[in-house]
Structure formats: structure tokens, C-alpha cells
Amino acid sequence: MKVKNKNYLLIGFISIVLGLIISIQLKVVQGNYLEGSNPLTRSIELSRAYETVIGERDKLLMEINQLQTKLQEIENDASSDNAMIKGLTVDLERYKLFGGFLDVSGQGIQVILDNPVNESNTTADVNIIYEYDLINILINELNAAGAEAISINDERIISISEIRTAGSALVINKVPKYPPFIIKAIGNKDTLDGALNQIFGIASTLRNMGYFVEVKKSDNIEILKYNGIVDFNYAKILKK
């Protein structure tokens, strides 16, 4: 009888612990992913929210395009009867093209970077987000191979673009980006491809670490302009 009582106590104790663990698990899942609803409803909610933000983005992009055409028209009107202004407009376009403030297209390559395909290998340590230094090296290799324009997940690399890890995201131009990363570069496609796929090059380094790397050559790569404001607070133009 005594032994039996002890067993019951033990089982009771284990049950309490089990209950606690289950409730913690439920709370964590609810707090981090579901926010008070079941997975199905939550995912439907999220899909709708995603559609909304994408719709908003499309509208904003359209508005930006309209405004830019309007600016273009004003410029064209003014330059049609004035050679000086025409010269200035051409200069402005060249600077914009160089700085990454125009949509461009041309031959080049597209690199897809993603976490290891086998999910069980994706631990906190093996995550492409933490390899910002390697992504920086990749950009450097592209520049060395003569890339004329580069973007990561449609975020154009410009003269002050930073690439760094913040929390669980890769921040580029202050916008958090998540894998898979699609890196596009315009330039001589064979040179760019060769520079990345060189033996012991950056692509093989990343592959050896387990990441998914795919380099595709293409005759028509489209890279979007930088859609943001650049504000310099410290630097001033040096007057000669």
C-alpha cells in the first residue's frame, strides 16, 4: 500500500511538470506566431494582410512613376527651347544613372541565395542572415568583375548602401530583408558568372557551408531604381 502511494505521488508530480511544459509550449506558440487564433485562421489573416501591403506598394510605386513622368515632362518642356537646359538635363540623367536612381536593364546574372534545403540542418547557427560579411564579399567580387548595377531583393545597392545583420533579418538600405535572397547584377554575364563560380570562389565557399547557391546567366536582367531619399547630414560638397 505504501509503495503504491509513492508511485501515485510520483506520477502526480510528473503530470504537473508535463502540464506546465505543455502550457509553456502553447503560450510560446500563441505569443510568437498565432496571436490568439488557430494556425489556419492566422495564416488566412496573414495572407490577406500581405496582399494589402503588396497592393499598397503597387499603388505607391504607380504614384511615384506618375510624379516622375510629370517631372520629366516639365524638364522636357523647358529644354525644348533652351540648349543650355537640355545640356543640364543630360548631365542630371547621367548622374542619376550612375548613382542608381533609374530603372535599368541589360545582360547579367541572377544569384539565388538560400538557407540549406534540408530543414533539419537549419539551426540558429547555420542561417544565411548571419553571413552578411560573405554577402559583402560577394558584392565586392561582382564589382571586381565589372558589375554596373546590383540589387538584393529589389533593393538597389547605391553609394551608401549598408548590408548588415539586425535581429533575424538582413538590413539593406535600412529595409529588413529575409531569405531567399535574389541578387541581380548587370554586366558581362560570362565574366560575372566566372568570377562567382571560380574554384574556391565565393559560391563554392557558401556551398561548402551548406547554403543553397544558384547562379543563372540571363540576357535580360531588370534592376529597379533606388526608391528612397538620401540625406547627408555631415558631408558637404567641396568647393574648388
User: According to CB under 8 A, which residues from 21 to 60 bind another protein?
Assistant: 29, 33-34, 39-40, 42-44, 46-47, 49-50, 53-54, 56-57, 60
- Whole-number minimum distance, CB 157 to another protein, in Å? 5
Give whole-number Cα distances, 86 to 71, 91, 179, 220, in Å: 14, 9, 44, 30
What count of Cα atoms within 13 Å lies in the side-chain half-sphere of residue 65?
A: 8
14 alpha carbon, distance to own chain's centre: 46
What count of Cα atoms within 13 Å lies in the side-chain half-sphere of residue 119?
A: 0
- Whole-number minimum distance, CB 123 to another protein, in Å? 14
- Whole-number minimum distance, CB 30 to another protein, in Å? 11
Q: What cell does 112 get? A: 539565388
Type of residue found at 238: L
Find out whether 223 and 149 touch, Cβ atoms under 8 Å.
Answer: yes
Determine if 74 is a binding residue for another protein (CB under 8 A): yes
Judged by beta carbon, residue 113 or residue 139, the one nearer another protein is 139
* β-bridge pairing 163-166 and 104-114: unpaired
Taking CB under 8 A as the criterion, which residues in 79-138 touch another protein? Answer: 82, 84-85, 88-89, 91-93, 95-108, 119, 132-133, 136-137
Determine if 190 is a binding residue for another protein (CB under 8 A): no
Of 16, 24, 144, 209, the residue at the interface with another protein (CB under 8 A) is 144
